[in-house]
Structure 1
Amino acid sequence: MRYANGDIQAVFIDRDGTIGGTGHFIHPRDFQLYPNAQEAIQLLKGTGTKVFALTNQHRISRGQATVQEFEQQFQEYGFDQAYICSHEEECSCRKPKPGMLLQAAAQHGLDLTKCIVIGDVGETDMLAAHAVGAIKIMVRTGWCESSLTKFRDKWAETEPEYIAADILEAVHWIVGNKG
């Protein structure tokens, strides 16, 4: 195990396909959490761990939603802060690039090797985590199965530390390994 005794400084959680939805864009007003996602977020927060949203949302740049609508949604779910890439074009923050993680590290004084990224897509979530040395957890919801099979070649250079059935199992694994 790479950590023990509460060394984890923050957990970054993807939105679409990880805490709810289908993996496709869904406007915040229509988005539905998975049945155990709110419990998972509250369990993490109960340990004193910072919980951040980490999501690519290029439909914002098309005018289909606003950053504020996403931020409000994440605040209602209990996230400490949301990191949202709204760009459709190439940028430094769109996963798999680690820009959002680097921004969070600078704002909160984080050592990203003591942080966890939870997501459902290998070629975005896991590669962003890998780029900064964060602990990687995949959840078998959303796009995970195709990430682990059909698209595995796109992120073959990395392995998640844990693959969980869903967000709640991922959080139980984190809490169980915190010491």
Structure 2
Amino acid sequence: MSTSKKLQAVFIDRDGTIGGSDEVIYPGVFELFSFSEQSIHILRNAGVQIYAFTNQPGISRGESSIKDFQDELASFGFDKAYICPHQHEERCFCRKPSATLLIQAAEDNDLVLNNCAVIGDRWSDMIAAIRAGCTKVLVKTGSGEKDLAKYQANQFFGEWLEAVPDYIAEDLLDAVNWLLKN
């Protein structure tokens, strides 16, 4: 973030970014990383809006519900959760790497996406961020190390190649500290 812009909101991916792993773990069993609660607290104290931004295909398979995810994420301190409940093969318009969830959040909450950031552990999070004009921060937790290795091995092409993170963080706390300093 440039010093001339005030950070308005942060969109944070769930699985592998705030807790869990690179696999989906459903509400009730999901556990936050040790640094996630502190990270959310720091953002809240800085006056930054905090939104969850996640693909959860198990919802469309009946394995969980949007309400279960929304309730869980609210209990972690998120202002609101933007969730794609579809499986990849459903070819919806909201699944990351689409920016649809980010655009919807901007409309719902009067956000300027250029003053927002996305923190995630997958390159699809970075693609959604670049499409929306947000600052992009990749964390090395979850799938972050694997996706970064794919990028460094030139396994991404086109728009995927162009979605270079603005910062590569060790974890969510590192990402939050970088965003608030920059």
Alignment TM class, shorter chain as reference: over 0.9
Q: Secondary structure at the match of 2:11?
A: strand
Paired residue for 2:178?
Answer: 173
Give the Cα separation in 2 of the matches to 1:6 and 1:78: 24
1:3 is displaced (CA, Å) by 2.2
Normalising by structure 1, we get a TM-score of 0.94
Paired residue for 1:110?
Answer: 111
Give the Cα separation in 2 of the matches to 1:80 and 1:136: 20
The letter for the 1-side match of 2:145 is E
Paired residue for 1:80?
Answer: 79
Please show how residues 113-132 of structure 1 align to structure 2 within 5 Å. 113-122=114-123, 124-132=124-132
The letter for the 2-side match of 1:167 is L
Indicate yes or no: 2:51 matched with 1:48. Answer: no
Paired residue for 1:38?
Answer: 37
Q: Secondary structure at the match of 1:127?
A: helix
1:150 is displaced (CA, Å) by 2.7
1:6 is displaced (CA, Å) by 6.0
Paired residue for 1:92?
Answer: 93
Contact 2:53 2:101 in 1 (8 A): yes
Give the Cα separation in 2 of the matches to 1:80 and 1:22: 23
Paired residue for 1:148?
Answer: 148
Please show how residues 155-166 of structure 1 align to structure 2 within 5 Å. 155-166=160-171
Normalising by structure 2, we get a TM-score of 0.93
Identity of matched residues, %: 45
The letter for the 1-side match of 2:15 is D
State the Cα RMSD in Å.
Answer: 1.2
Q: Secondary structure at the match of 1:11?
A: strand
1:5 is displaced (CA, Å) by 5.8
Q: Secondary structure at the match of 2:150?
A: coil
The letter for the 1-side match of 2:140 is R
Unaligned runs of 5+ in 1: none
Residue deviations 1:66-115, cap 9 Å, x none?
00000001110000000000011111110000110010011111111110
Give the Cα separation in 2 of the matches to 1:8 and 1:59: 32
Unaligned runs of 5+ in 2: none
Q: Secondary structure at the match of 2:156?
A: helix
Q: Secondary structure at the match of 2:164?
A: coil
The letter for the 2-side match of 1:45 is R
Paired residue for 1:23?
Answer: 22
Q: Secondary structure at the match of 2:52?
A: strand
Paired residue for 2:8?
Answer: 9
Give the Cα separation in 1 of the matches to 2:93 and 2:6: 28
The letter for the 1-side match of 2:175 is A
Paired residue for 1:137?
Answer: 137
Q: Secondary structure at the match of 2:162?
A: coil
